[in-house]
Amino acid sequence: MVTVGDREVRITHPDRVLYPARGRSGAVTKADVIDYYRGIAQVLLPHAQLRPVTRKRWPRGVGEESFFEKQLPSSAPAWIDRCTLVHRTHRTTYPLADSEAALAWFGQQAALELHAPQWRHDRPDPGSDAPDTPGAFLADRLVFDLDPGEQTGLADCARVATAIRDLTESNGLTCHPVTSGSKGIHLYVALDRPVVSNDAVDAARQVADEIAGRHPCTVTTTMRKSERHGKVFIDWSQNNGAKTTVAPYSLRGRDRPTVAAPRTWDEIEDPALRQLTFDEVLRRVDEQGDLLAGLVRGPARPSK
């Protein structure tokens, strides 16, 4: 058992290697993952607050099979905060990332990636028998996932990111960049007032189509991979109420322990831009705080 705040988290197989290839510092164990999530909790939690967490788990490490898990298992500690979404044919109970102890438990489960929607679950009665309609969830932010196609890379994503920044800022909104920890870049835009997810999808698609229209040779909004060769794909669809994006500061299940890391625009425009690992991100937070702090707003409430 490990004491985290006022909670006891049962840790098993702490020496199990989850990332075999770390580099000079050696492999990364489950204990290292738990230490990271505890160390990053102060800045991660505000961005995951009240958002149902879908976990992507690698129980035997990133070299083995992984799976997504939405339903909170019956073995989960009773103190894990949760919410239940009722759909047309079933209901799913998700955990909420509301504490350092919850993040430690995710690490114990080898849930390397934490995925969350762009809306927050602050309904008065989450256990209602009325079906939830994904399009009616209240989004408090937009997200753009910039994914490089064949023959493109992170530098190409960075150029598209600056174009989206310029367009959104011309409309009075602030765009926050995050290197995804995988291949591309995520851009978050805080909304002044929450909007239903269907409207968020429409707004994000308009921005994406505008950028693709200006740069048809290098940018696409088409999901078909055959259309993405030599182009950066702007995925606007993750604003759909039924979809999720890997959370800021989440680890990624790659060969190395990279992180979805908030960045400055100077870094995005630097030709040497690369993905960051968890130890680098912890040091940056110690030195710079949360570069994504401007994304956090108050409780989501519908506009009248």
97 lies in the same domain as 204 = no
Q: Structural domain tally of the chain?
A: 2
Report yes or no on 26 lying in a domain. Answer: yes
> What distance in Å separates the CA atoms of residue 28 and residue 33, rounded to the nearest whole number?
7
38 lies in the same domain as 58 = yes
Domain span at residue 243?
Answer: 138-293
Scan for tokens 């998700």, then name that residue.
Answer: 94
Q: And the tokens for 125? A: 């009665």
pTM of the entire predicted model: 0.92
pLDDT value for 25: 63
pLDDT in tens, 56-107: 999 999 999 999 999 999 999 999 999 998 877 889 999 999 999 999 999 9
Contact between 45 and 293 (Cβ < 8 Å): no
Report yes or no on 304 lying in a domain. Answer: no
Q: Which of 114, 135, 156 is at the close of a domain?
A: 135
pLDDT value for 225: 82
93 lies in the same domain as 178 = no
pLDDT value for 24: 55
State which H helix or E strand residue 151 sits in: none
> What distance in Å separates the CA atoms of residue 260 and residue 180, rounded to the nearest whole number?
4
Contact between 143 and 186 (Cβ < 8 Å): yes
114 lies in the same domain as 223 = no
20 lies in the same domain as 51 = yes
pLDDT value for 22: 66
Phi, psi values for residue 29, rounded to 5° = -95, 175
145 lies in the same domain as 257 = yes
pLDDT value for 224: 84
- Domain CATH for 64: 3.90.920.10
* Residue numbers of the chain with a pLDDT score lower than 50: 123-131, 300-304
Q: Which of 96, 120, 135 is at the close of a domain?
A: 135
163 lies in the same domain as 96 = no
Contact between 53 and 43 (Cβ < 8 Å): no
Count Cβ neighbours within 10 Å for each residue of 242-277 and write b for 16 or more, e otherwise: ebbbbbbbbbbbbebbbbbbbbeeebbeeeebebbb
Q: Which of 20, 2, 24 is closest to 11 using CA atoms?
A: 2
13 lies in the same domain as 107 = yes
- Domain CATH for 256: 3.30.70.3300
65 lies in the same domain as 12 = yes
